[in-house]
Structure 1
Amino acid sequence: MDINFAFFAIIVIVSVINIYYLLKKTNQHLQRIEELLSQMIEKKE
């Protein structure tokens, strides 16, 4: 097995994990913002 290929594969795997983690974090923030907005709307009514 080529060393360069193994190195490239590791970089790809790490990148995918990082992207997945960032998306999960972003999704949590979006849910929190939605909750805050719905609370504000409820208070106005």
Structure 2
Amino acid sequence: MYAVFQSGGKQHRVAEGQTVRLEKIEVAPGETVEFDKVLMVSNGD
């Protein structure tokens, strides 16, 4: 499973359970962040 979301004017493709490093987001390491601009979710390749 993967999703494409938008953050900071860029689109990011991430897989389930993947750790993501993004610029311009001020959170402590290990903290959970929710993204409201999810562009696509897929269960396949």
Q: TM (normalized to structure 2)?
A: 0.13
More strand by proportion, 1 or 2? 2
Larger RCO (CA within 8 A; separation ≥ 6): 2
Larger helix proportion of the pair:
1
Q: With the length of structure 1 as denominator, give the TM-score of the two structures.
A: 0.13
Q: Which one has a bigger Cα radius of gyration? A: 1
